[in-house]
Amino acid sequence: MNRVIAGAMGLLATGAVVVGCSNDKPADKPSDKPAASAAADTKVSSGSNAQVKVDGSDLAGLDLNSVTCVKQGGKINVGSAAIGGQQGLGVVMTDEATPKVESLGLVYDGSALAVSEAMGVKVGSAQVKVDGDTYTITGEASGADMKNPMAGMINKPFTITVSCS
């Protein structure tokens, strides 16, 4: 049963990322902006003072220099690469005065943890504080302990700090 829940959590997190990165405009409708103008609206920052802590400790195995922040289409996407393919991070939030986390996924100690709210199901929680170009995301991510799936759901507090210009 817990494996089903873990699989559903993974699908939910993936679906939330896909929905978070999409928009409501049809693909076959030409854009009102020229391609050069649309590209100019995209802002990318990487490796700038990123910090990722889970359960009070640095997220081991995460390449902080690879943490990238992209602002485009009313969304802020934060992602990272892993060292040795072990840990990862992905966040989608709204680009507004008080951003809201739409989805968050991270791998901690072999377990996939998520924050998401989709189709009436809420998993975990997250809040965002903005100080200039610095975003601090705090909350609690939930998931299944893949080392012991029968143990049920686990919750881990996290703090992510990243600069997005």
What is the CB-side half-sphere exposure of residue 74 using CA atoms within 13 A? Answer: 7
Q: Which helix (H) or strand (E) holds 163?
A: strand 153-163
At 110 the three-state DSSP class reads: coil
Span 116-145, pLDDT tens digits: 988 888 999 999 999 999 999 999 999 988
More confident residue, 100 or 2: 100
Name the pTM for this structure: 0.72
Domain ranges in the chain are: 2-21+42-163
3-state helix, strand, coil in the chain (%, to 5): 15, 50, 35
- Res 43: pLDDT: 62
Q: How many CB atoms lie within 10 A of CB 15?
A: 14
Contacts of 16 (CB under 8 A, 6+ apart): 92, 102, 103, 114, 116, 117, 118
